[in-house]
Amino acid sequence: MQPSDSSHFNARSPQSSPPLVLLTGATGYVGGRLLGLLESHGHRVRCMARDPANLSGRTARTTEVVRGDVLQRYSLVDALKGIDVAYYLVHSMGSNGDFEEQDRQGARNFAEAAREAGVQRIIYLGGLGDETDELSAHLKSRHEVGQILKESDATVLEFRASIVIGSGSLSFELVRSLVRRLPVMICPRWVRTQAQPIAIEDLLEYLLAAVDHPAEQSRIYEIGGPDQVSYGDIMQEYAQQRGLKRYLISVPVLTPRLSSLWLGFVTPVYAKVGKKLIDGMRNPTIVTDDAAREEFNIAPRGLTAAIERACKSEDHKLAETRWSDALSSARGIRSWGGVAFKNRIVDSRTISTTASPEEAFRPIRSIGGRNGWYFANWLWTVRAWIDLMLGGVGIRRGRRDPDHLRVGDVLDWWRVEEYVPNERMRLFAEMKVPGRAWLEFEATKSGGQTTIRQTAIFDPIGIWGLAYWYALYPVHDLIFHGMLQRIAKRAEQSSEVSAGQTAQHATLPPAS
């Protein structure tokens, strides 16, 4: 196979237009963050998603969003048309069925479609691991995908990374959950496995720089921070920065299967994803080739700085993107009672209304204080008295203004953490709960209707946190369902009043 002509990238003048970039995996952890960077650096971006609605409100106006699925070969034709550079950031680790075969088929479909479309460069994110070792199924599949993509005849720049340190990443969330919830951990052998973690910001720098990197042939770049550490070292560093004392006791008897079930119970992570992740943790993931350091002007930060930055992001807001946002190409997410088993427990529900987004958002921004919570206010009052008895803030604080909000405002026992007028409001709970809780509302135009999305997010601490959520889930389900119904009803009533006033004004005789 002859390397593709890369002169388009090497000789592009400052006046020439930037390449048209296709981003797959934009709903995932890495892709979601890369999207904003590509846009801010002036790249022309096209995102491919199985359901374009999942990217609603998350892209710049100049970014094109198209429907496509790597497991459906025909859907890639339009997505790749006219593309110069394509990011391949999809995988099937969280899917049902044979994830290796799905990864293989997806890569093969993409390579064939890219070859037919004349794509000149593919940028792929894989995993570190010495191929002379007996690699886990997950890492073996990651390497195989990179090899298949080279059949496209495009220049393939494959970045292989170890653990990604960043608020919201799967590996970091696993570490965070274990350290926060268990003062003493009985650890299997994989806790001693050596890795070379990289901060999410540094990983993104590599991926962004790859668009214009003057590579003339396909290359594999091993990337990582300067520190080679064990998973246990990462846990202890996180514990130290959080002011926690943790004891790790290593035992040889916990199999990947038992470890994954344990993780699913404690963290919680999908047991299925946990097993695949742990299978890969038995393999050292160390950088053995310094080509990336030599060819890219990037100096990755060390473990201490990477964890410090991730902790700051974690403290100030929800992660910009989360690994659990990623939508597997095989569509399988196990749930119970509408609650997906992820690092943070998420209960999301929607309702459609004929009201405009502005009218739909009016009752949302007016929630709390004397306006109440629209449904079962007596239950909110009971919860407030319980909170007071536990030393919490209760419901006494009300709200600053009955109809207007700004970030930082108090709404009873909630605080406004994010507020975009007529679009989105996120509240952080300041009540006494065994964990952290958020309540988010969004209003988006969809065809001739408005979709109101209500999302409850709970980050439990330990077994008591999980017990709290599931014990109260029937009550939460009742309250959240009723609240959403009432919000939609009030929005439609407001819409009808506005329409009546407009009609009445139109029929008034002109002033003499």
Q: Do 318 and 391 have their domain in common? A: no
- Single-letter amino acid code for the residue at 474: P
Does residue 58 sit within a domain? yes
Q: Do 487 and 416 have their domain in common? A: yes
pLDDT at 330: 35
Asked which of 72-76, 125-129, 170-174, 287-291 is least confident by mean pLDDT, the reply is: 170-174
Does residue 213 sit within a domain? yes
Does residue 501 sit within a domain? no
Strand partners, 86: 22, 122
Share of residues in the chain with pLDDT > 70 (%): 79
Does residue 78 sit within a domain? yes
The 3-class SS string of 221-239 reads EEECCCCCEEHHHHHHHHH
Q: Do 184 and 258 have their domain in common? A: yes
Does residue 504 sit within a domain? no
Q: Which residue range(s) make up the domain with 462?
A: 344-496
Q: What are phi and psi of 474, to 5 degrees?
A: -60, -40
pLDDT at 111: 96
pLDDT at 120: 95
Does residue 423 sit within a domain? yes
Structure tokens at 277: 């992740």
Q: Do 348 and 240 have their domain in common? A: no
Range among 291-295, 329-333, 414-418 rated most confident: 291-295
509: pLDDT confidence band, cut at 50, 70 and 90?
Answer: low
Q: Do 304 and 356 have their domain in common? A: no
Q: What is the pTM of this model?
A: 0.65
**The pLDDT of residue 334 is above 50:** no
d(CA 109, CA 77): 10
Helix, strand or coil, per DSSP, at residue 215: coil
Does residue 483 sit within a domain? yes
Mean pLDDT of the chain: 81
Q: Are 412 and 398 in contact (CB under 8 A)?
A: yes
Segments in 88-218 forming alpha helices (H): 99-117, 137-149, 170-181, 200-209
Q: How many domains does the chain have?
A: 2
Q: Do 380 and 411 have their domain in common? A: yes
Q: Do 305 and 348 have their domain in common? A: no
pLDDT digits (tens, 9 = 90+) for 147-203: 999 999 999 999 999 989 988 777 787 787 778 777 887 777 778 889 999 999 999
Structure tokens at 76: 């890639």
Q: Do 310 and 459 have their domain in common? A: no
Q: Do 278 and 426 have their domain in common? A: no
Q: In terms of Cα–Cα distance, which of 168, 200, 104, 465 is closest to 319?
A: 168
Does residue 162 sit within a domain? yes
Q: In terms of Cα–Cα distance, which of 369, 388, 477 is closest to 427?
A: 369
Q: Do 236 and 379 have their domain in common? A: no
pLDDT at 315: 60
pLDDT at 74: 93
CATH of the domain at 65: 3.40.50.720
pLDDT at 462: 76
Q: Are 191 and 159 in contact (CB under 8 A)?
A: no
CATH of the domain at 484: 3.30.530.20
Find all residues with CB under 8 Å of 256, minimum gap 6, and list them: 190, 275, 278, 279, 282
Q: Are 44 and 62 in contact (CB under 8 A)?
A: yes
Residue with the larger pLDDT of the pair 170 and 453: 453
Q: Do 290 and 365 have their domain in common? A: no
Q: Do 319 and 361 have their domain in common? A: no
pLDDT digits (tens, 9 = 90+) for 195-246: 999 999 999 999 999 999 998 899 999 999 999 999 889 989 999 998 888 8
